[in-house]
Amino acid sequence: MSDMDEKGRILNSRVLKDNEGRVIDYLRISVTDRCNFRCFYCMPQERVHFFPSNDILRYEEILYLADIFIEMGIRKIRITGGEPLIRRNILFLFEELGKRERLSELTLTTNGTRLSEYAQDLKQAGVRRVNVSLDSLNRETYKRISGIDDFERVIQGIEASKDLGIKLKFNVVAMKGINSDEFSDFVKFGIEKEIDIRFIEVMPQVYNNRIAEDLFVPSKVIKEEIEKVFRLEPLPASDPSSTAALYRIEGSVSTVGLISPLSHPFCSRCNKVRLMPNGCLKTCLFGKEGINLKNLLKKGMTKKELKKEIVKAVLKKPQKYYLNKGKVNLVMHRVGG
């Protein structure tokens, strides 16, 4: 028998849909707001406000909630942060999630600094694909962006993961005057390493509203820069909810993807919800922080009641986001991208 809420909406139908008919099957879990980097477009350079440790979801809580989401139709989970690989005992979470048979994909977004250490165990746990953020191929620029001189360690992590057969993607946040002279170098690097590259338009958020405006490079310009050197052919999206416009690079197995949250928003294809380190559920990257599932767990809510709350929150998922200057409601190192 199906569990129903008071309006007759089925709570265990294994398909989670919002009011726009979008099927929500992708959950991003940000496991920490802490990071070993201080990328200036993501975090304040000093006096970062972190969640008190007591407010952070414990692994048992994350797993309990993940199981509820999986019962409700989530099929893909991405672990993010802050930097997920700096959270203590993080492998436990990957190992446990890797046992969930109904998940078709378990992935990770990382700055790559701890990949060489973890790659083998991540693979063992069932992680087949990893996104590595790499904003410059120049050690000095890399340090200028991230605040840390760790370029070599990231490259070692990339090599270690590649050797193990983990499929990698590079995430590059495009920034005018910072890495805008490197766009085709990234593509060349991707071709050499047989790794796909995703360029992301820099997004405004609480800490960097002004910076994001000054540094913004639209995807159209990124593409024009790359096409001065390489021929790009449009590719149909293999995944209909893909946020990237994809291109094949002539003569290569690697692809280029352009993610344009500002110039070409992808809200109509959005299939995601996000769980923050403190248990808040965000149904839209730029939207308000929604219900706090950790608080509801503390109140002793049953699984059925939690499902009802999740359905209610998903039904309120905004049709699209509205970016009002100075009113951005996003703290990236908490939400995880």
Give the footprint of ligand SF4 on this chain (CB under 6 A).
35, 37-39, 42-43, 81-83, 111, 133, 146, 332-333
Touching ligand SAM, residues 55-84 (CB under 6 A): 80-81, 83
Euclidean distance between CA atoms 183 and 141, whole angstroms: 14
| H or E stretch covering 119 | helix 115-125
**Nearest-approach distance from CB 45 to ligand SAM, in angstroms:** 14
**Nearest-approach distance from CB 256 to ligand SF4, in angstroms:** 21
Structure tokens at 127: 């992680």
Touching ligand SAM, residues 210-269 (CB under 6 A): 212
Cα–chain center distance at 80: 6
**35 lies in the site for ligand SAM, by CB under 6 A:** yes
Pick one of 56, 122, 173, 313: the residue that binds ligand SAM (CB under 6 A): 173
Tell me the per-residue interface mask from 88 to 117 with ligand SAM, x by CB under 6 A, - otherwise: ---------------------xxx------
Secondary structure (DSSP) of 267-307: GGG--EEEE-TTSBEESSTTS----BHHHHHHTT--HHHHH
Are residues 113 and 150 in contact, defined by beta-carbon separation less than 8 angstroms? yes
**Nearest-approach distance from CB 86 to ligand SAM, in angstroms:** 9
Are residues 166 and 224 in contact, defined by beta-carbon separation less than 8 angstroms? no
Q: Which H, E and C letters describe 135-155, residue by residue? A: CCCCHHHHHHHHCCCCHHHHH
Cα–chain center distance at 78: 7
**333 lies in the site for ligand SAM, by CB under 6 A:** yes
**Nearest-approach distance from CB 216 to ligand SAM, in angstroms:** 10
Give 45 or 295: the residue with its C-beta nearer to ligand SF4.
45
Euclidean distance between CA atoms 161 and 192, whole angstroms: 15
**Nearest-approach distance from CB 113 to ligand SF4, in angstroms:** 8
Q: Which does 94 bind (CB under 5 to 8 A by kind): ligand SF4, ligand SAM, none?
A: none
Q: Which does 38 bind (CB under 5 to 8 A by kind): ligand SAM, ligand SF4, none?
A: ligand SF4
**Nearest-approach distance from CB 80 to ligand SAM, in angstroms:** 5
